[in-house]
Amino acid sequence: MDYYDLIIVGAGPAGSTLASALGNSGKRILIIDKQDFPRDKTCAGWVTPAVMKTLNIDPQDYGTSRTLQPIRRFRIGMMGQAAVENDHGDVVSYGIRRFEFDQYLLSRATCPKQLATPVKSIVRREGNWVINDTWETPLVVGAGGHFCPVARLLGEGPGSHETVVAAKEVEFEMTSEQASVCQARGDTPELWFCRDLKGYAWVFRKGNYLNIGLGREDNHKLTGHLQAFVEEMKSAGRIPADLPGHFKGHAYLLYAHAERPLVDDGMLLIGDSAGLAYTQSGEGIRPAIESALMAADVIRHAPDSSASSLQVYG
């Protein structure tokens, strides 16, 4: 059995940020993720300047070899109605590709990583957690998104009792022909609100990459809403008529609706596994980063991994 002071389940922005923040703590840390990296991640893919500043990322350096689309304005409308544009002047966000961004953050974490490894079992044994009958730790942190296996052990776990946002999106590199007919502009993402205000769709261009998607709190007719939106955008000439690939889905909790317990003995949740996405926008990366930094501070100073010692994080 390999022993670690801390095992992080999930190598996305929350998990990698926690590992990096504890890099000089003297703790032996392991990150486990079911996927290999770099990997595709279903996400519209933008971050605010606050994220770049908090993570000490120089935009100019990051954008030298990776996609970084400055955003200065938004094109906003209600589906079926005319859109308006609001110009902020300064850069208010950046478009990124999660394929690159998550790999970049993970590369900054110097601890051991066990990738392409699904977590099949987490059991309590003599006061520690044993994962896959292979790794042992007194503290396991759930950073594996909405369906994180660590979150299943806290409270009722992920399930039908939760009001989730369900989303579908596709991101692809446009051909020169597709790029020439696509009216969406890189510095102006388009946000189109559903008429019942239960969600919104987006058209987001990042250089030659185009990201199209739709997310709703009421997901019963998600595919129908998405298909209608895509056809409307094609008819208006906002997007190319020939979209490659298929739309991928994902789910997450909005903070106002999340009731997951965050802490228990030897256990703690961060990022989407805790349900921290901003209620109005659905932004998840910034709260994932900030929750990881809060957790790192608590873990660094906690006398042990009991729930009472970790509860200040909650």
Q: Which domain holds residue 187?
A: 164-252
- Please give the pLDDT value at position 163: 83
Which of 252, 279, 300 is at the close of a domain?
252
User: 122 and 236 share a domain?
Assistant: no
Question: Do 135 and 233 reside in the same domain of the chain?
Answer: no
Tokens 């730790």 belong to residue: 137
Residue 40 resides in a domain: yes
On whether both 105 and 28 belong to a single domain, the answer is yes
At 139, the pLDDT band (50, 70, 90 cuts) reads very high
pLDDT tens readout for residues 6-16 = 999 999 999 99
Q: Is 194 in the same domain as 241?
A: yes
% of the chain surpassing 70 pLDDT: 100
Give CA angle at 201 (199, 207), nearest 5°: 150
Pair 240, 260 in one domain: no
CA distance 202 to 144: 25
Q: In this structure, are 183 and 238 located in the same domain?
A: yes
The distance of Cα 263 from the centroid of its chain, to the nearest Å, equals 21
pLDDT tier, 247 (very low <50, low <70, confident <90, very high otherwise): very high
Give pTM, 2 decimals.
Answer: 0.94
Residues 129, 210 share a domain: no
Do 216 and 145 share a structural domain?
no
pLDDT (mean) for 290-303:
98
pLDDT in tens, 28-58: 999 999 999 999 898 889 999 999 999 999 9
State whether 261 and 154 are in the same domain: yes
Residues 125 and 174 in one domain: no
In a domain, 28, yes or no: yes
Of 210, 230, 252, the position where a domain reaches its end is 252
What is the average per-residue pLDDT within 81-98? 94
What is the phi/psi pair of residue 168, to 5°?
-135, 140
One-letter amino acid identity for 16?
Answer: S
Q: What is the pLDDT of residue 77?
A: 95
Number of domains, the chain: 2
Q: Which residues contact 167 (CB under 8 A, 6 or more apart)?
A: 42, 213, 214, 215, 216, 222, 249, 250, 251, 252, 282
Q: What are the backbone dihedrals phi and psi of residue 130, each rounded to the nearest 5 degrees, phi first? A: -115, 125
Q: For residue 245, name the pLDDT band (cuts at 50, 70, 90).
A: confident
How long, in residues, is the chain?
314
- Average pLDDT (194-209) is 93
Question: Of 252, 272, 288, which residue is a domain's last?
Answer: 252
Are residues 179 and 293 located together in one domain of the fold? no
Is 29 within a domain? yes
CATH number of residue 116's parent domain: 3.50.50.60
Residue 108 domain flag = yes
Q: What is the CATH number of the domain that holds 212?
A: 3.30.9.10
